[in-house]
Chains A and B, each alone.
Chain A
Amino acid sequence: MTIVKQRFFKQASVKKESQNSNSFPNASSSEASLFVQDEDLEDVTEVSATGLLESQLSATVGYIAPHIVNYLYSKYHTEANFVRLAINEYLNGINPEDLDKQIQIEQEEREQRSSKRPLEEQDVASQLDLLYGRMQAESSSINMERIRSNWKRFIGSVDVQAWATRPTMQPLQYSDRLIIKRLIPRKSTINNSSIIRLCTVPKNTMDTGREIGRIPEDLTRIFAPLIDLDIAFFEATVLETTKRRLSTGDSFIIQIDIYLQNTAFKFKQFDDDDAQDSKRQRTQAIKLNFNFATESEGEATLRLRQFALSKLFERLEIKPTRTLDGNTTSADVEDTSLELSTQNPEDEAIPIDSVNLDQLKEFYQANNQSKLLNSLPETTTPPKENFSLDLRAYQKHGLSWMLTREKEHDLLEKIAAENGDTAFSTQSRTTVRESSEGILNPLWRRYKWPKNLSFKAQKKTEEAEDNNDRYFYANMYNGEMSQEKPIIKSSLKGGILADEMGLGKTISALALINSVPYSATEEARISTKPYASKTTLVVVPMSLLNQWKSEFDKTNNNPNHFCHIYYGGQTSSLSYLLVNNKAKDVPVVMLTTYGTILNEYTRLAKSRDPNGNLSPVGLYSVDYFRIILDEGHNIRNRSTKTAKAIYELASSRRWILTGTPIINRLDDLYSLVRFLDLDPWSNFSYWKTFVTLPFEQKKVSKALDVIKSILEPIFLRRTKNMKSKSGKPLVELPAKQVIIEEIKFNDKEEKLYNWLKARASSTFREGLKSGQILKQYSQILTHILRLRQACCHRDLLGSENDMEEDATEVLKDEETDSFLKGMFQSKIEGFENETKMKEVMYSLYERIDLKDSECSICTQTPISIGEMAVTPCGHQFCFTCLLEHIDFQENDKSRLCPNCRDPISKYRLFKLRSRATSHKEINFHSTKELRDPSKDYPFQIYLYDPDKSSSKIQALITHLRTIRDSNPGEKVIVFSQFSSYLDILENELKIQGGRDFVIHKFDGRLQLSERQKVLDKFNDNTGHDGVTILLLSLKAGGVGLNLTTASRAFMMDPWWSPSVEDQAIDRIHRIGQNETVKVVRFIMSNSIETKMLKIQERKKQIGEIVAAEEEERRKRRIEEIQILFEE
């Protein structure tokens, strides 16, 4: 039967070996079989008897070398109980000389036989028949005494439409048995093409069964490897009596019952040690690393096996059962079943190894929650005597998980008991304990043996099902199968905490440290280094060092616990500090930076000892109780020195904190897994085979599925959008106040605006009259842009259009230029001439006393340099107070100095800046007595130009001053869509704010490398008591950035779409924000900006035109323009 076929291969290898004078006694038979060229099928028969013997033998004694089988066969095959005899001899030890002799004989025989085979054919067949009968009897007796092995078990049936390849003598009858035989055509390998024959059952010794038909190609593809690799056994039965005898090409229906054989469960890893092959394997391994297009034969077999099995299961609709913890496996084997990659030329496309956004989203969705979490208590808190902070519910839950990951079950249960947490039932305890003792290898699925529905079984209804093993396990990723539950016994303590930013990973880590600060018991350690059993090493980026330190101090409640910062340098004393120190002052936490570790590593890596170990110096001198990597994605690139430096730190508890475990490629995760030493994934070949390669071949869901399996036990991620069990979001954002502040134009601004508006309106009306508004669309847009710019600052009018959207051309506009010149060059309100102005200005120096100055309007004393305004009469005020006073008056006549009632004007005000002015300079301009020319004044007086600023800028500055007074040290974001407006703002804020404002600017012109630096500077918590301002372009900074250190924002100009502004506000109104967010939107009253607000409202109501038709868009644009120009 089928056995006949499979032995054919075994024999082939035997033959080869014997010809090679036995030099490879252990060569893997299955591999060797792959080299076999086709043999004449009829040759099979004799050999099959040895095969049968071998299977009997191996069932009893385990693996047995083929040449020994041959030897035993030839010695005993004539005896009645030859199997038993053979076993006995084998177990008693075979005389090697006999063996050699036998091999010689065999060789001779073979040579003879090859010359006279045709004559012997019949003889052999009849001999086989006899033998077969004897063996049947023999094996049934052996069956009685041996543990059941060499079994096969029903796995499913398929109905197949086969077609006849030869005419038959008679019609096929219902329930006729057919034999399935494998044929490999000459000059073909099993990979490519193969044929499965349906043969008639041999009726007598004369009949070897003849082919009557074949089964379809698709099934052949699946079945062939299953036969070749000893996985399955097939039985075919005719299901329908054919009406007449078959002619070639006729089809007929058969049922094929499929059985899995015991051999299927004896799986040999392709990379099993094979002494003779080790060299080749090594080269293979090298190839593995460099070229994945070529695969070794072993891999090919593996792939074939995987393919055949997964297809078979798919065909038979065999699905994995629910996993032990009650969750369905999301991994539908159907979805992930592999297609042969070489079948599809598209797969050869350029490998894309970076992850796109959708894939990333998919990844996070798939890995959001660890199943184990459901059984964990949500009330775990660190002991109060160590940890002062109250954790949020999900953090407590997370702590339970972390403790479980560290296998601190006793502690966890103790805490749960103390809290009276009844939810943490005995059952879930067991689940939790079991889960970490050994989890089902995540790549494996459990399957239930199906009920035997084979043709035979239905007919007979005998064959009691054996109930002891109802399940089997299969790994659909490599086709491995097992009857035992495949368990990963992981010694890993630790994992990846990947909570979204702002959910408090640092706090969670500190809670863990404080819950289990030291090793309670002597733990089994791998490292031979001295054990720093009391210290957790925390590796952080430089910028977070101080934050960690202060978080530690803030949460620490235990006076004996302290935190040490290690900058390197004290290499020799480190192990003393951590290990030998008998005193109490061993730090519980040692903070260090990636940079420090890298430095030490670089130094040490030059002189490794002969075993390749780093010398045990500094950070590498001890084995830490625990290591925590903050912002663990720093080591995402496994080939960087930093990553390598981190890998070599010793500890048995390893944690990674990161909000972004994947930055741009799936392999980023590998490095994390490598650090955690998660077996077997920390082996890069393994990772590459199961993750990288499938991903590069665009089998994304498969790769992600594997990753999910890998990460499931060690990965915890919560997002702010997640709901707690009570249905509340994990984190609630603080309130958001958005205030629209309407600002009035000053006289000149209004004049300019009206002039621009008149021009714009006439263009619009012309367009409306001629009905060709859209033809003038760009012109009108330019006008609109001008109006909007005029609302911000007149200097924008001359500037290039830097609006990142609507890139309309702004032509140089001479008309506007000359209008501006005419308007702003008149100095009627100012001084008569420059000489006069300078005379006044230089006379003021001696009047100014920086220390004793007091603003009589607000009683501020002293007035800071940047804020001081000086009137021509020499009185000093806060600039804003004085401007407020001036603006408060109804007419010029009443604009008087508050102190002396001299007339004053905005155009005759002086300001101060921090720049030394020498007495010499003053003497030069002054007619009065000379001062000591060697001295300086520590400030410089300059004439204020009210037109340099704008009403909006002044409004902003007023706000900033208020903030400076009420909340010194506050951080503020100022948004504008015009980068050149940001420039003007920067300049004005510097001039008017002086030291009160610290200004940072971030816009599209900023180089990528500089961007983070600017943000870091802005976010850095230096104790500046002024206002720290970030000027941020709406487009460049509107998305992605996290600026929660600020809680106030100012929107200098409105944008057409409300969502863009909302997004910008979300930079500060997001997770991590603890303050109420206050946003002020500046809008010039009675201007195009108020109209824009109307359009925003409209958009909110009717929705944005995103996918609308071109026609619809036009219509809406016209409507919008009409809104803009309506009075």
Chain B
Amino acid sequence: MAALPKRIIKETERLVSDPVPGITATPSEENLRYFEVTIDGPSSSPYANGVFQLELYLPDDYPMCAPKVRFLTKIYHPNIDKLGRICLDVLKDNWSPALQIRTILLSIQALLGAPNPDDPLANDVAEDWKKDEKKAIQIAQEWTQKYAVKKD
């Protein structure tokens, strides 16, 4: 494997020294391109109080192409499918090398606060959302309670 670019080292250092509130990202010991990520659900959203586990991988072409991010915790969201894949423009075509791990994770956090059923990934969830938003939000809250809230 090629040596770790200076940028990745710098980003990692900054994630540790100057963490984003509500977000943690810890590089794996075996592979410094692989991160274990947690995102707190935004307080005003159905995902509040939930702590969502994600994995993030920086491909060899990073930062020319976007990192690969996936939810590990089950989540009821129109832009996130059963496998945890995320539909977010900056992870796809709108990726710019000027973006960083931190900005991407913030975008994901923002996505939790503002689901966009018009650009769905999980079609069934999106339909539910469009039909009955209240019910959908309730399911989302339940799922959060069930899968994302730690029980002591």
A and B co-occur in one complex: yes
Q: Which A residues are within 8 Å of any B CB, using their own CB?
A: 856-860, 881, 884-885, 888, 894, 896-899, 901, 965-966
A899 close to B96 (CB less than 8 A): yes
Q: Which residues of B sit under 8 angstroms from A885, Cβ to Cβ?
A: 64, 97
User: A894 with B93: in contact, given A858-B5, A859-B6, A888-B64 (CB under 8 Å)?
Assistant: yes
Cβ of A889 to closest chain B Cβ, rounded Å? 9
Q: Which residues of B sit under 8 angstroms from A894, Cβ to Cβ?
A: 93
B18 CB-CB contact with A under 8 Å: no
Q: Which of B6, B10, B61, B98 is in CB contact (< 8 Å) with A888?
A: B61
User: A857 with B6: in contact, given A881-B97, A885-B97 (CB under 8 Å)?
Assistant: no
Q: Which residues of A sit under 8 angstroms from B3, Cβ to Cβ?
A: 966
Q: Which B residues are within 8 Å of any A CB, using their own CB?
A: 3, 5-7, 10-11, 61, 63-65, 93-94, 96-99
The CA of A898 and the CA of B11, in the complex, are separated in Å by 17
Q: Which of A858, A897, A899 is in CB contact (< 8 Å) with B6?
A: A858
B6 close to A965 (CB less than 8 A): yes
Q: Which of A860, A898, A965, A966 is in CB contact (< 8 Å) with B97?
A: A898
Q: Which of A856, A884, A966 is in CB contact (< 8 Å) with B98?
A: A856
22 of the cross-chain contacts (CB-CB < 8 Å) are A857-B7, A857-B63, A857-B98, A858-B6, A859-B6, A859-B7, A859-B10, A859-B11, A860-B6, A885-B64, A888-B61, A888-B64, A888-B65, A894-B93, A896-B96, A897-B96, A898-B96, A898-B97, A899-B96, A901-B94, A965-B6, A966-B3
The CA of A743 and the CA of B10, in the complex, are separated in Å by 30
The CA of A885 and the CA of B63, in the complex, are separated in Å by 9
Cβ of A1100 to closest chain B Cβ, rounded Å? 31
Q: A888-B64, A899-B98 are in contact. List 13 more A-B contacts (CB 8 A).
A: A856-B97, A856-B98, A857-B63, A857-B98, A858-B7, A858-B63, A881-B97, A885-B97, A888-B61, A888-B65, A894-B93, A896-B96, A965-B6
In this complex, the member of B7, B64, B93, B97 whose beta carbon has the largest number of chain A beta carbons within 10 angstroms is B97
Q: Which residues of B sit under 8 angstroms from A901, Cβ to Cβ?
A: 94, 96
Cβ of B88 to closest chain A Cβ, rounded Å? 16
Report the nearest A residue to B61, measured CB to CB: A888
In this complex, the member of B3, B94, B98 whose beta carbon has the largest number of chain A beta carbons within 10 angstroms is B98
Report the nearest A residue to B11, measured CB to CB: A859
In this complex, the member of A859, A884, A894, A966 whose beta carbon has the largest number of chain B beta carbons within 10 angstroms is A859
The CA of A1094 and the CA of B6, in the complex, are separated in Å by 38
The CA of A897 and the CA of B96, in the complex, are separated in Å by 8
Q: Which residues of A sit under 8 angstroms from B10, Cβ to Cβ?
A: 859
A857 close to B93 (CB less than 8 A): no
The CA of A859 and the CA of B11, in the complex, are separated in Å by 9
The CA of A856 and the CA of B103, in the complex, are separated in Å by 12
B64 close to A884 (CB less than 8 A): yes
Q: Which residues of B sit under 8 angstroms from A856, Cβ to Cβ?
A: 97-98
The CA of A884 and the CA of B3, in the complex, are separated in Å by 18
Cβ of A892 to closest chain B Cβ, rounded Å? 14
Q: Which residues of A sit under 8 angstroms from B63, Cβ to Cβ?
A: 857-858
The CA of A884 and the CA of B63, in the complex, are separated in Å by 10
Q: Which residues of B sit under 8 angstroms from A881, Cβ to Cβ?
A: 97
Q: Which residues of A sit under 8 angstroms from B97, Cβ to Cβ?
A: 856-857, 881, 885, 898
The CA of A885 and the CA of B7, in the complex, are separated in Å by 15
Closest 6 CB pairs of A and B: A856-B98, A898-B98, A898-B96, A857-B97, A888-B64, A898-B97
The CA of A901 and the CA of B93, in the complex, are separated in Å by 11
The CA of A672 and the CA of B54, in the complex, are separated in Å by 78
Q: Which residues of B sit under 8 angstroms from A857, Cβ to Cβ?
A: 7, 63, 97-98
The CA of A896 and the CA of B61, in the complex, are separated in Å by 17
The CA of A857 and the CA of B96, in the complex, are separated in Å by 9
The CA of A901 and the CA of B94, in the complex, are separated in Å by 9
Q: Which residues of B sit under 8 angstroms from A897, Cβ to Cβ?
A: 96
The CA of A856 and the CA of B11, in the complex, are separated in Å by 11
Cβ of A775 to closest chain B Cβ, rounded Å? 52
Q: Which residues of B sit under 8 angstroms from A888, Cβ to Cβ?
A: 61, 64-65
Report the nearest A residue to B10, measured CB to CB: A859
The CA of A914 and the CA of B6, in the complex, are separated in Å by 26
Report the nearest B residue to A882, measured CB to CB: B97
The CA of A641 and the CA of B94, in the complex, are separated in Å by 76
The CA of A859 and the CA of B14, in the complex, are separated in Å by 12
In this complex, the member of B3, B7, B61, B65 whose beta carbon has the largest number of chain A beta carbons within 10 angstroms is B7
Cβ of B29 to closest chain A Cβ, rounded Å? 23
In this complex, the member of A856, A881, A894, A896 whose beta carbon has the largest number of chain B beta carbons within 10 angstroms is A856
Q: Which residues of B sit under 8 angstroms from A896, Cβ to Cβ?
A: 96
Q: Which residues of B sit under 8 angstroms from A884, Cβ to Cβ?
A: 64
Q: Which residues of B sit under 8 angstroms from A965, Cβ to Cβ?
A: 6
Report the nearest B residue to A888, measured CB to CB: B64
The CA of A1118 and the CA of B96, in the complex, are separated in Å by 52
Q: Which residues of A sit under 8 angstroms from B7, Cβ to Cβ?
A: 857-859
Q: Which residues of B sit under 8 angstroms from A858, Cβ to Cβ?
A: 5-7, 63
The CA of A136 and the CA of B99, in the complex, are separated in Å by 123
The CA of A288 and the CA of B23, in the complex, are separated in Å by 97
Q: Which residues of A sit under 8 angstroms from B64, Cβ to Cβ?
A: 884-885, 888
Report the nearest B residue to A860, measured CB to CB: B6
The CA of A783 and the CA of B54, in the complex, are separated in Å by 59
The CA of A966 and the CA of B3, in the complex, are separated in Å by 10
Cβ of B47 to closest chain A Cβ, rounded Å? 29
Cβ of B94 to closest chain A Cβ, rounded Å? 8
The CA of A859 and the CA of B5, in the complex, are separated in Å by 10
Cβ of B95 to closest chain A Cβ, rounded Å? 9
The CA of A856 and the CA of B61, in the complex, are separated in Å by 15
The CA of A894 and the CA of B96, in the complex, are separated in Å by 10
Q: Which residues of A sit under 8 angstroms from B5, Cβ to Cβ?
A: 858
The CA of A152 and the CA of B123, in the complex, are separated in Å by 126
Cβ of B48 to closest chain A Cβ, rounded Å? 32
Cβ of A738 to closest chain B Cβ, rounded Å? 19
Cβ of A262 to closest chain B Cβ, rounded Å? 86
The CA of A858 and the CA of B9, in the complex, are separated in Å by 10
Report the nearest A residue to B95, measured CB to CB: A898
The CA of A858 and the CA of B6, in the complex, are separated in Å by 7
Cβ of A902 to closest chain B Cβ, rounded Å? 11
The CA of A856 and the CA of B96, in the complex, are separated in Å by 9
Report the nearest A residue to B14, measured CB to CB: A859
Cβ of A888 to closest chain B Cβ, rounded Å? 4
The CA of A901 and the CA of B96, in the complex, are separated in Å by 8
Cβ of B3 to closest chain A Cβ, rounded Å? 8
Cβ of A372 to closest chain B Cβ, rounded Å? 53
Cβ of A874 to closest chain B Cβ, rounded Å? 14
Q: Which residues of A sit under 8 angstroms from B93, Cβ to Cβ?
A: 894
Cβ of B139 to closest chain A Cβ, rounded Å? 36
The CA of A860 and the CA of B97, in the complex, are separated in Å by 13
Q: Which residues of B sit under 8 angstroms from A899, Cβ to Cβ?
A: 96, 98
Q: Which residues of A sit under 8 angstroms from B11, Cβ to Cβ?
A: 859
Cβ of B107 to closest chain A Cβ, rounded Å? 15
Cβ of A1008 to closest chain B Cβ, rounded Å? 43
Q: Which residues of B sit under 8 angstroms from A859, Cβ to Cβ?
A: 6-7, 10-11
Q: Which residues of A sit under 8 angstroms from B61, Cβ to Cβ?
A: 888
Cβ of B35 to closest chain A Cβ, rounded Å? 17
Report the nearest B residue to A887, measured CB to CB: B64
Cβ of B85 to closest chain A Cβ, rounded Å? 22
Q: Which residues of A sit under 8 angstroms from B6, Cβ to Cβ?
A: 858-860, 965
Report the nearest A residue to B9, measured CB to CB: A859
Report the nearest B residue to A896, measured CB to CB: B96
Cβ of A856 to closest chain B Cβ, rounded Å? 4
Cβ of A875 to closest chain B Cβ, rounded Å? 8
The CA of A856 and the CA of B97, in the complex, are separated in Å by 7
Q: Which residues of B sit under 8 angstroms from A860, Cβ to Cβ?
A: 6
In this complex, the member of A858, A881, A884 whose beta carbon has the largest number of chain B beta carbons within 10 angstroms is A858
Report the nearest B residue to A875, measured CB to CB: B98
Cβ of B2 to closest chain A Cβ, rounded Å? 10
The CA of A881 and the CA of B94, in the complex, are separated in Å by 18
The CA of A1090 and the CA of B31, in the complex, are separated in Å by 37
Q: Which residues of A sit under 8 angstroms from B99, Cβ to Cβ?
A: 898
The CA of A856 and the CA of B95, in the complex, are separated in Å by 13
Cβ of A729 to closest chain B Cβ, rounded Å? 33
Cβ of A66 to closest chain B Cβ, rounded Å? 96
